[in-house]
Structure 1
Amino acid sequence: MKWLNSVSRLLSDPFKRTIRSKLIVIMISISVIPIIVVTWLATNNTRRAMEQEVIQSNLSRIDWAGDAVNNNFTQLNNLIYTILISPTLAEYTKEDEASLRSQFTIQSNIINTITSVYYSGNNNLVEIQLYYREKNKLFTINDMRNDIQSPPAEPPTWRELITKQADVIIQDSTGTASNFKFIRSINRFENQEKIGSVSLDVKWKMMDNALDLLNSEQEAGVYIVDSSGKLMHQLKERDLPDLKAINLADHGSGFVRTAEHYIFYNQLEPSGLSLIKVLPVSYIDHSAATTQKYGLIVGVASALVAALLAALLAYTVSRPIIRLARSMSGLNWLKAEDVSHLNRQDEIGMLEMRFHTMSSRIREHIRNEYTINLEKQTAQLKALQAQINPHFLQNTLQLIGSMSFSKTPSDIYSIIQSLSDMFRYCLREPGDLATIRAEMKHLSNYMNIQRQRFTGKLTYEADVAPEWEDCRIPKLSLQPLVENAFMHGFDKKKGSWCLKVKVLPYDSGLLISVEDNGIGISPSRLEDVRSRLAEQLDPLWTSGNSIGLYNVSARIKLYFGEEYGIHIENNPGGGTRVSLYIPRVKEGQ
């Protein structure tokens, strides 16, 4: 589930961060989804329309082909009627006995009549047989024979008529699948008693011209089957599918669709045969695929164009909104910025204009407040710089007085010189920033006086590499840190005092560490000091007339930025460490 949530966030985050992505997706969806739906409906409608067209055209064709096949059967039936209505056959079927000579003459006339019909037919006739049951005579006419027989048994065609009690039968020819027999009974006029039969042996090729009407598709199969579904003839070699879905006893024409085929049928009356055309479903799918392919190409192209136009429109609409959002997020409240003139007259243009007007006024107000506050701080700082802590001055003067009784003039002069240098540094050094060299010299003068006050008790160490002495630091930043060590660390500390000042590089800045071995600071007080150092305080002193710890931190942040300042902590071995972080900004930079 974690990877699913990760994927979900990866896909949704761009839409949470910017309105442009949402607008582009919405515009593309509005423009593309209808095209996709219309294309899908059009392709489906194309297939259905093509299916209906194929069905209707094949229903018409199978009716035409059925009429053509029936016409061929009618021609064959007419040939048989020509024989049946001949006077010679009527005379032959009379019941009275004629002389042998007369019978021979009549039989010869029948042969002549059948021969005439045989040759007057068409090239598709293979043979004509006439069987007269009462006299057991079988007349056979073909290209090779022209005779009369008295068969020892009834011909199969006659038995088929009697068995089925049918007037017309069409069946396969014996010995060849390319021919069929068209058989009609000879009925007595008075009572319709069957007294014989006429059989035409015909080539199936006679029906091919009619079946060609159904050969409109290369994949189609065209068949003639009997009432039981047995294959009688086919135009091309094809596998005949299962015809159980069709009731071949039904009259007329129609079609059924199976999972794989369209089956069109036409029941041929009165022959009892059925004309079948089988068309694979894949034919319509393949035929529709080409049209659908071009439809899909047009649909995809339209969708891409619509998506491109929608994305362009969304980008154009969202561009001023994004520009306004970026202007708001990147606004510098202290630095004046150039405002491009906008030509938009709509609500977004008005919003941009009002925002820039408002930001200009806020920036001007902040600049005024900042200038007033800075001037106030500068005046107060300069006033303090002109002063020395009264207690420190009093203690120093008392120190000089006591030294006049016990020290040499050079020792007294050293203290007076240090005090004089401290006054000079506070009063005469220009600017708000000083070099570390100047700060360390000022601190050295301060510590020279303190060492003389606490002779034998105070140890002072300073470690500053020459390469860092030219780096800049707010003026009077180190003395307040050392004063705190005396006021809060050494005041109640028994034994020796040790104070160390180190300047160390870190990353791209400098770390000035002031360490003492005093009594340290309680955890609650340490937490309070740290929280106050982290706050955005007004960079003014907080303890009487001295420049306090918080003031030093605030001035460092004011000059160099929020990433710099002061950090305070207890030493593991006792005492306190105050770390001051500043950038490596040298004099003249």
Structure 2
Amino acid sequence: MFAKWMMKLSGPFRRSIRNKLILTMILLATLPIVAITGLAAENSRRSMETEVINTNLSNMKWTGVYLGDQFTQLNNLIYTVMISPHLSDYLASAEEPNLSSQFTAQRNIIDTLTNLFYSAGNHVVGVEMYLKEYNKLFTVNASRNDIQSPAVVPAPYKQLFDRDKDFMITTDSSDGTKFQLIRSINRFENQEKLGGISLQIRWGVLDQTLDLLGRGNEHTVFIAGADGKVLYQPWGSAPASGTLSRIADTGESQGYFRSDHEYVFYNTIDPVGLKLVTVIPDSFINQSAMATMNFGLIVGAVSIGVAVLVAVVLAWRLATPIVNLARYVQGFGMMKEREVRLSNRVDEIGLLETKLDQMSHRIREHIRTEYIISLEKKSSELKALQAQINPHFLQNTLQMIGSMLFKNSPAESYGVLRSLSDMFRYIIREPEDLAPLRAELNHLNNYMQIQQQRFAARLDYRLQVDEGALNSLIPKLTLQPITENAFFHGLERQEGPWELEVKVSRTGEDTLIVIRDNGVGLEPDKLAELQRRLTSRSGKLWTYGERIGLSNVASRIHLHFGGSYGIQVESREGQGTTVTVTIPL
């Protein structure tokens, strides 16, 4: 299917040198412009890509510095509690039996945490301190100010102790807009973890700094933990899991990588170790470069249009004389009488026109001579075939009539003579070599009437005809020789009843005539040899011998209708033979 489509598409260029020249000129004129325009557009896109990469790497670096400063300030808030003398007093008096001293120490801790909460700003929404040895949880926020003894270690602090970390940042599971900055309280002598202090902070405290990265319509900005899990994402679509895995696996503190259809920039936020990530899609760079590319494309399109116009004009002027010469050669006929025409051109094409006309005149004379000789040869061959057929039928049929006159009634003998008379009238009086199938079947019926008279007790003859095929033309004496061969080669050597069936049908634009007998059939080697002779194109119209062979009939069909028509033979030894004649409908 694809090959046919390509042949149809390339047809106008294969048949016309003008179209080839026009196409070649267009390609030579446009390909360099297209290549230059494409390279310019690609260079513009790459320049924009380099600018975007460098700009974002710089923005990521400075934004990371500012975020680090913010986390440092938050961390310093925790240090104000850790260095507070009230915490030391509480740790020293917690084991004293004096309840008054313990209460005073706890009150001082609450006051310290309260001062931290109100001095930290609006983004700090809560302060906690947990002391593991005494199982005390101090909580200060806008709605609470108390001390608890939890049944189990609170989850954030347990995670801090189990992982033996000095600080952690976790997202609030109940509210994604907040996070906890937790730092452990260590014993100075052996760094044993005594507890931890945490600040509950709104992520929004970082938004003003994150705005330094720009808020593109398709940009994605988020802060991820060391494991690649997203902790805070102020805007953009959710990142792909593959992107998060590559961020977690990277060992560099700052850089970028390109994934499917996007650029990913990352930077480590000191001192907390979080990852600041910006994801920019390819379309952002393409859109940024589009303005420059559009100008180049417009200039390129105008240049291509001018180049195509110039190429078409030049190709048309160069190819027109050649096309005119081709049309002239196509126009003169080899069998048509005409005078030698002199060209009005004085260049090489004019010389070709004059010489071609002279050559065509000489070829025309030669063809006329060969054509006349060929016609006379074919006429002689057909006449020789006709002369071969007549004695053959006369010999076989008169021998049968002579035997019938002694044992049959005059009416039966007259019927046979009438059939014989009609057969010879068809053979001798019809000058044309082609006859309607209707006339050929009548001739066959006359022959079969004689055979039925001869073999009435043994022969079963059936004829089935499609009336729509009776006007098909067929070479004269095609069917009767086939049935005669059926008797001679098949039925006469077959014991028992004889069957001979002739069926005429239409198949598409063809007429099929099937002649089947139940004779002795053909041996495989003889069948193969017969099929080879039937498909050969030897050009002979007859073979030598006493009978008209199937190859004679096949050669005549090939002569009139071409190689796609002819005779096919199928036979099985002991079961009969089927001969199929194919002619145009």
TM-score relative to the length of structure 2: 0.50
Task: Give the TM-score normalised by the residue count of structure 1.
Answer: 0.50
Larger gyration radius, structure 1 or structure 2: 1
